[in-house]
Structure 1
Amino acid sequence: MERSSPTPKSRASEIPIYEIPGGIHPEEHKLRSSQPEIKRLPLASEFIINLKGQAGNRSLPIVEVGDTVLKGQVIAECDGIFSAYQHAPTSGEVVAIEKRTIAHPSGLDDLCIVIKADGEDRWCELTPTHSLDDMDREAVLAQIFEKGVVGLGGASFPSHIKLKQHEGIHTLIINAAECEPYITCDDKLMQEHAKEVLLGAEIISKLYQDIDIVIGIEDNKPQAIDAIQQAREALKLSNIKLGVVPTKYPSGGEKQLIQLLTGKEVPHGKLPADLGLVMHNVGTCYAIQQALNEGKPLVERLVTLTGDSCNTPGNYWVPFGTPVNHLVQATKSETPKRLIMGGPMMGYQLPSADVGIVKATNCIIMAADGELGLDQTALPCIRCGACMDACPASLLPQQLFWHAQADEFDKAEEYDLFDCIECGACAYVCPSHIPLVQHYRYAKSTIRNKRVEKIKAEKARERYEARQERLERVKREKAERHRKAAEARKKAAQEAGKKDEKKAAVQAALARVQAKKKAQQAEGSDNSEPSSDKDNSDKNNSEGNN
């Protein structure tokens, strides 16, 4: 594993900063939303909570239609380890548990819990942790798990899973780079809640032994840097270092930020934990602090509302399940040409304004006509190589494009398709306006689907072979039973025959005995007749003499 050469320290950086390959400098469009203070919008009348609103398995509803719920009450429990609890974003009544259009590029429906708000926004009973130092590691992880905390940097992976491994972890990196254009929610969170963010990082650090904490932040956030430094001094957290990196997209990518701060590259097929590193977003740190110190489950997040059609851009606390059309109306915005969830580089267009926001929603761009350049016609590739120069993962985007376009997925994998982080830098610099990332996503999803189908086919084959083996076994057992039954019958017949022979012999012997007796009786009868005549003769003679 090679280590990059360090560059001169950026503004206020307290550790060496290294370089990453590729990257671009798109227009930031951050000023319009980063100036106003964080605010709240009026509550929506209806909340649509998508049960697949985080990475992993879908949550399972534990409420029924007609139930009354309080804010923070559990409404869906996890389904296996790769899942998360869902909590009511406000108080009200469950009016439906049905399929609704969800915030996903596919535009498909999925199971949602629909809550009609009562307008009171009443919390359920909260249980803050007052003795964090007395809690063991498992108890802290259990609290993070039960409060539904997931990664708020975009992936929304359940945080307790990422925190489980502690052997060999020596550095905690807090991702505060927020490099994508338009998005400023992390910047504003650090400006106004730096203390809570650092307390959350401190809670995470207590899950490990002798761990260093590094906050990776771009140098275009001077107010956030000052706020973090002041909060660190106030809390006396000397183990936290600032790594201020040059402004460059996508410096906020997990692997890219690790390389910038440590000079190490995460090997292909490996995780940061294999290098002794664990990374969490500043929003996740804030959520963990709220979960432990305030007892509040994750029911809302800071969302950047911006775009040319947004009349009051800024950052707002938005409860999960809030319909996007409510956000458009509450900011008194014009009807947008497009609604983009996430940033312009890695976000996606929403299929409907009726979808509810999820835990991964960090930004809603209310784009005006022509704002994001999505209407440009794609032209043939001219093989200029600009995409290769911009790729932060050192891939060959044009090769991936050709193989994905030709459905040559095996060759695409040979060119490390799954190392692509889908940052969109290649598409941004493409003079032919080819939507390269869409082709990569298509190839990835097709390969994943084929793998799933292959697994299903393999399992079906195993089931078929097991069935055939079972049928053959039953057939053999049946034949064996028939054979044994036939042998038993034959043996019984033989034994019966032997019994008949024995009986016949006995009968013959008895017959012989009887015959012999009869013969003897007959013979005895013949011998007794002359004596009788003699006696009679003698008797007659005596009578005559007399």
Structure 2
Amino acid sequence: MERSSYPSEIPIFEFPGGIHPQENKQLSNRSPIAKLPLAKELVINLKGQAGNRSIPCVAVGEQVLKGQLIAKSDGIFSSYQHAPTSGKIIAIEKRPIAHTSGLEDLCIVLSADGDERWVELSPAEDFTALCRKQILARIFESGIVGLGGASFPSHIKLQREDGIDTLIINAAECEPYISCDDRLLQDNTDEVLKGAQIISHLYKDLNIIVGIEDNKPSAIEALKAARTKLRMTFDIAVVPTKYPSGGEKQLIQLIAGKEVTHGKLPADLGLVMHNVATCFAIYEAIIQDKPITDRVVTLTGKACGKPGNYRIPIGTPIKHLLESTQTLKSQKLIMGGPMMGFEIQSINAGIVKATNCIIMADSNELKPEQTSLPCIRCGECMNACPASLLPQQLYWHAKADEFDKTEEYNLFDCIECGACAYVCPSDIPLVQFYRYAKSNIRNNRVEKIKADNARERHEARLDRIERVKLEKAEKHRKAAEARRKAAEASGQADAKKAAVAAALARVQAKKEANHEASNSHQADKTKEPKA
């Protein structure tokens, strides 16, 4: 493939490992971004991003406009979902989803009316008039996630403000076949760079670096022209084409010469990184007030009738894409690239925000699945690992369900790039074992949290029972004490009353005695003889 002769404007470093798979980007990157006919039904997966599932806020039978909110985020680690077109909500139910498991999940099914009527928008051409809080709120409410494949909510990545000095725009796009970011840079260069300006504005003007592989000469020239036109200041870091140079940690090593060590984030090094498509989405959200309703997707592969890059509404069924590109004989469908993507189990599933590519392969195009052989301990996987891990040790421990050992070998530093499996002479699906171990560790953590919560609730219940018991005993003691005091007080009152009564009786008796004595004296006087 053609390489750029344009030199990097800043020094380029190296990262360990890496491989050079056949690129095959020329199948799709030679024509401008186009559109396909609108599908009659769109299936919007509510778990179509990293984090929690979105919560529907529309009802079956409701008419919606393009860009209208149809599902709210479930907490900060989630994403809003918007209607990809105008039409009617005909179902909210479980449907097949674009996932390696082939399982069903909750989806909103929208019947398109073909009118493409937008909800009322409030553009903000001067983004500098918006404060940081307003910009982050718009990014969040527009449902923007990382569109390079991870689909991590973008507003979370932008929360940290202190200590950030550099913005890296990830235009490496190292996966074979995928060319959507390449075409987006060629066709919408100004919008991508204006999105970068908005991000820079959040941090009071950052140093901007565009990291791009040397197999994208047209995009590099478009960046140079736009820099002059927009009078922007940024560096273009042209890195050698090597997979996975587009990985976040790997591109940082190439451009900044810094390593994001275990347990650290790019922000700890003063860096923030965003994908080309994410910058474009931020531009649309802030300047045009448009949420994510579609994205550019590479449709490619030797079986694809019309390979190219297309702007496709979120939720468009893969079956519709096959029909629209006149692809009838594909032997295998891969969502994503051949290295990190997965085989599509149902063509009725709709695309999600993370869908950057669909490979429609013929029977001889991709490496067929092989029966894995025993590990020969050749060490090729270790040499290819860009994260400097020990894939062989991780494989043995994952296979033996020794998950604590895999964590000791930094399993979660694995970016699942597939380089180790690519070079494995025994055709061992190494990444599958790593994903299996990660899934079990996450599940065990969830179960531990549940068990800890249950234990805490049980202990709290026992404490509450004991507390109530003690409170009742204290209440009874106080009641008995009150009765005793009342009784004593009553006895003292009765004794006092008796003493008063006795005193009154004595006085009365004395009075009566005196009265009788007086009467007796008078009687005696009456009986005395007269002189």
Q: TM-score, normalised by structure 2?
A: 0.92
After superposition, where does 1:71-470 map in structure 2 within 5 Å?
71-237=66-232, 239-369=233-363, 371-470=365-464
Decide which of 461, 466, 473 is 2:467's aligned counterpart: 473
Range moving further from structure 2, 354-363 or 466-475: 466-475
Quote the Cα distance in structure 1 between the aligned partners of 2:524 and 2:208: 142
What value does the CA root-mean-square deviation take over the aligned residues? 2.4
- After TM superposition, give the deviation of residue 37 of structure 1 in Å: 3.1
Cα contact 1:10–1:246 (8 A) shared by 2: no
- After TM superposition, give the deviation of residue 251 of structure 1 in Å: 0.5
Quote the Cα distance in structure 1 between the aligned partners of 2:481 and 2:368: 83
Range moving further from structure 2, 499-508 or 45-54: 499-508
After superposition, where does 1:3-82 map in structure 2 within 5 Å?
11-82=6-77
Quote the Cα distance in structure 1 between the aligned partners of 2:275 and 2:506: 112
- After TM superposition, give the deviation of residue 11 of structure 1 in Å: 4.3
- After TM superposition, give the deviation of residue 209 of structure 1 in Å: 3.1
Letter in 1 for 2:58: V
SS of corresponding position for 2:135: helix
Letter in 1 for 2:24: H
Cα contact 2:139–2:155 (8 A) shared by 1: yes
SS of corresponding position for 1:404: helix
Quote the Cα distance in structure 2 between the aligned partners of 1:267 and 1:128: 41
Whichever of the two has the greater Rg, that structure is 1
Letter in 1 for 2:140: F
| Distance 1:137-1:510 versus aligned 2 partners, 3 A rule | closer
Quote the Cα distance in structure 1 between the aligned partners of 2:387 and 2:346: 33
SS of corresponding position for 2:202: coil
Letter in 2 for 1:422: E
Quote the Cα distance in structure 2 between the aligned partners of 1:377 and 1:362: 29
Letter in 2 for 1:329: E
- After TM superposition, give the deviation of residue 340 of structure 1 in Å: 2.0
Q: Could you report, residue by residue, the CA deviation over 1:196-238 in whole angstroms, capped at 9, with x for unpaired residues?
A: 222222232222334221111111112222222222233232x
Quote the Cα distance in structure 2 between the aligned partners of 1:463 and 1:433: 48
- After TM superposition, give the deviation of residue 357 of structure 1 in Å: 0.8
Quote the Cα distance in structure 2 between the aligned partners of 1:120 and 1:49: 19
1:492 equivalent to 2:486? Answer yes
SS of corresponding position for 1:264: coil
Matched positions, count? 527
Quote the Cα distance in structure 1 between the aligned partners of 2:338 and 2:519: 135
Cα contact 1:10–1:17 (8 A) shared by 2: no
Letter in 2 for 1:168: G
Quote the Cα distance in structure 1 between the aligned partners of 2:6 and 2:394: 37
Quote the Cα distance in structure 1 between the aligned partners of 2:352 and 2:439: 22
| Distance 1:527-1:233 versus aligned 2 partners, 3 A rule | closer
Quote the Cα distance in structure 1 between the aligned partners of 2:5 and 2:137: 39
| Distance 1:493-1:224 versus aligned 2 partners, 3 A rule | same
Q: Could you report, residue by residue, the CA deviation over 1:300-336 in whole angstroms, capped at 9, with x for unpaired residues?
A: 1111112343222221111001111111121121254
Quote the Cα distance in structure 1 between the aligned partners of 2:364 and 2:470: 73
SS of corresponding position for 2:15: coil
Alignment gaps of 5+ in structure 1? 1-8, 540-546
Quote the Cα distance in structure 1 between the aligned partners of 2:344 and 2:492: 91
- After TM superposition, give the deviation of residue 272 of structure 1 in Å: 0.8
Quote the Cα distance in structure 1 between the aligned partners of 2:25 and 2:84: 28
Cα contact 1:200–1:286 (8 A) shared by 2: yes
Quote the Cα distance in structure 2 between the aligned partners of 1:351 and 1:501: 97
Letter in 2 for 1:241: D
- After TM superposition, give the deviation of residue 150 of structure 1 in Å: 1.9
Alignment gaps of 5+ in structure 2? none
Cα contact 1:404–1:443 (8 A) shared by 2: yes
Quote the Cα distance in structure 2 between the aligned partners of 1:308 and 1:378: 27
SS of corresponding position for 2:483: helix
Cα contact 2:174–2:245 (8 A) shared by 1: yes
Quote the Cα distance in structure 1 between the aligned partners of 2:514 and 2:187: 135
Quote the Cα distance in structure 1 between the aligned partners of 2:59 and 2:484: 68
- After TM superposition, give the deviation of residue 149 of structure 1 in Å: 2.1
Letter in 2 for 1:72: G
Q: Could you report, residue by residue, the CA deviation over 1:373-396 in whole angstroms, capped at 9, with x for unpaired residues?
A: 352111111111110000000000
- After TM superposition, give the deviation of residue 74 of structure 1 in Å: 1.9
Q: Equivalent residue for 1:4?
A: none
Cα contact 2:125–2:288 (8 A) shared by 1: no
Quote the Cα distance in structure 1 between the aligned partners of 2:113 and 2:430: 46
SS of corresponding position for 2:109: strand
Cα contact 1:10–1:244 (8 A) shared by 2: no
Quote the Cα distance in structure 2 between the aligned partners of 1:433 and 1:68: 51
| Distance 1:523-1:203 versus aligned 2 partners, 3 A rule | closer
Quote the Cα distance in structure 1 between the aligned partners of 2:206 and 2:447: 43
Quote the Cα distance in structure 1 between the aligned partners of 2:474 and 2:5: 83
Same amino acid, percent of matched pairs:
66
SS of corresponding position for 1:114: strand
Quote the Cα distance in structure 2 between the aligned partners of 1:262 and 1:65: 51
Cα contact 1:92–1:116 (8 A) shared by 2: yes
Range moving further from structure 2, 116-125 or 481-490: 116-125
